Amino acid sequence: MPEAFPILISASPEDAGKRLDQFLATRLETISRARVQEMIAEGKVLVNDAPAKPSLKLRGGERIRVLGEAQRAPLKAVAEEIPLGIVYEDDDLAVINKPPGMMVHAGAGASDDARNRGTLVNALLHHLGSLSGVGGPLRPGIVHRLDKETSGLIVVAKNDDAHRKLSAQFAAREVKKKYVALVHGWVKKDSGTLAQSISRDPVRRMRMTTRLEGGRAAVTHYRVVRRLDTKFGKFTLLDIKIDTGRTHQIRVHVAAMGHPVVGDTTYGAPAQARGKSAVIVLKRNFLHAAELEFRHPRTAETIALKSELPEELRAFLEKLEQ
């Protein structure tokens, strides 16, 4: 649990000789020593009602008052030279073919470390230079998202006007998105619509769930492309279209009907597909954003783009069918 400030701590005789920052880092269990040093530097720590230095040696018996957390400057994404597949670009927007394993942007809780590196935003800032600021300093240009292990098409905005108009299209469910997914097992119906609401899992906070009431509405349409009966088990290749864009929507919906996306161990897929005498592993989710269609925010022209299955997914299908 986060600390509740202000906090009053008394140093005992046994604490004599300890550095102030070391002492507080052990007493404030949720706060690192580096953060403690920042708090002291900002005057958020008083020893006997006076400011102190991190290196202060305690004598024992001091009254130490911790007033609050240090105020960090807002984290801002930085440009990085990362290869980027740009499939369309003009003065207002770009459409990127995102690879698997790349986060779209750093999370709000990220610190200025590796978690704020290697994202799509970092690459965009290098290749495109200027992006819209509507999404804030961590998410410049980002109109919608793809999960880290999902590949395929994503549109980004270069200016605020384009961002707002594209966002309005997504909100009105006017953007057409088609995904290709390979799931475990044979889906019974040739087509169908999944419309369970989606909520954050209260126990496993990195997951979403359809099992709770009061979630956000989510609509997923699927069509069976083909059913595969292989030495590694049964699988179904699906074309999927979504009306909404909830977090993990496709992954949650197909898992809820008992057919998790291949590779998606978060939602119940096995780490490997095992047959009687063979094992096959996919080190990413078999989920690809294959088609994207929207109106250009300036000209109203229809922009319709496609992305072929990445090589590793094509190769996986070929191995299944051998």
Choosing from 15, 21, 92, 147, which is the catalytic residue? 147
Q: Is 23 exposed, middle or buried (0-12, 13-18, 19+ CB in 10 A)?
A: buried
Beta strands in the chain (DSSP E): 7-10, 45-47, 50-51, 63-66, 86-89, 93-98, 151-157, 176-184, 191-194, 199-200, 208-209, 220-230, 233-242, 273-274, 279-280, 287-295, 302-306
CA–CA separation, 160 vs 100, rounded Å?
27
Those residues with Cβ within 8 angstroms of residue 314's Cβ, 6 or more apart along the chain or in another chain: none
Reply yes or no on whether 160 is catalytic: no
CA 30/CA 42 separation, integer angstroms: 19
Q: Determine if residue 286 is left, alpha or beta; phi over 0 gives left, psi from -120 to 50 gives alpha, anything else beta.
A: beta
End-to-end CA, the chain: 52
Looking at residue 37, its amino acid is Q
Q: DSSP 3-state assignment of 321?
A: helix
121 within 8 A of 104, measured Cβ to Cβ:
yes
What would the DSSP string read from start to end of 263-308? T-GGGT--SSEE-SS-EE--SS-SEEEEEEEEE-TTT--EEEEE-P
**Residue type at 270?**
P
Question: Could you give the residue numbers annotated as active site?
Answer: 147
